[in-house]
A = this chain, B = another copy of it.
Amino acid sequence: MESPTGLSTALRRGTLEFCVLALLENGELYSLELVQRLGSEQTLTTSEGTLYPLLSRLRRAGWVTTTWQEAPNGPPRRYYTLAASGKAALGHFRAEWVAFRDTVDRLVGTDPK
């Protein structure tokens, strides 16, 4: 809890999966590509051990669909595509996130306005 890295770890909870959905809105991606994209965001850096179970959940929920595609070199990749229900879930999250964000901003005094 007291480590600086542990702080952002706790923050990621509940938002990471929707950040993944948001990334998939711009087109299909495969797992390690997602790790890279998230890793380039300082506060969202994550690992395979986090992402694979997360992607399995998204698939089980029907929010994403997957297709296997040959890679130019190396093993085949499982590409993830945003499904209609995933797009809807992302919409719900956006509303919830804005309300939550504003509440926290007001309470802790980080309101940008």
A residues in contact (CB < 8 Å) with B: 1-2, 4, 7-15, 18-19, 22-23, 41-44, 57, 61, 89-90, 92-94, 96-101, 103-105, 107-110, 112
Contact = CB atoms under 8 A, between A and B. Distances in A.
Q: Is the interface of A mostly helix, strand, loop or mixed?
A: helix
B11 A10 contact: no
Contact of A1 (B41, B57, B101): B57
A108 B96 contact: no
Nearest to A58: B1
Given A41-B107, A107-B41, A14 B18 contact: no
B7 A103 contact: no
A4 B92 CA distance: 8
